[in-house]
Amino acid sequence: MKIILTLTAFIIAASTSFAAEDGKGKGKGEGKRDPEAMFKRLDANSDGAVSKEEWNEAPFAKKDADRAAKGFAAKDKDGDGKLSKEEFTAAPKGKK
């Protein structure tokens, strides 16, 4: 249960961080998260995966590196050191 709450908080923080950077998140639809759009932003080299290095360059990771590392590890189901689109957009265990 604790990991679900941590991941949920992490995703919210990440979404807020990206919205603030873009000036988006204002008006209708505020607070909505689009995991696919977030994945695209994080995949800086457009290779179809988010590496640890790309993940660690995100504003949310720079704010709380320890929490970002835990979030990355929780999403990296196959342990290959990068997140596929499927791994990134998958709902946390127990959520749908």
84: left (phi over 0), alpha (psi -120 to 50) or beta: beta
Mean pLDDT of 31-48: 89
pLDDT tens digits along 71-80: 999 999 999 9
Contacts of 72 (CB under 8 A, 6+ apart): 52, 55, 83
Which one is predicted more confidently, 17 or 40?
40
2-21+34-89: CATH number: 1.10.238
In whole angstroms, give the CA distance from residue 88 to residue 85.
5
**pLDDT single digits (tens) 41-83:** 999 999 999 999 999 999 999 999 999 999 999 999 999 999 9
Instruction: Using a cut of 0.75, tell me whether the model's pTM lies above it.
Output: no
Domain ranges of the chain: 2-21+34-89
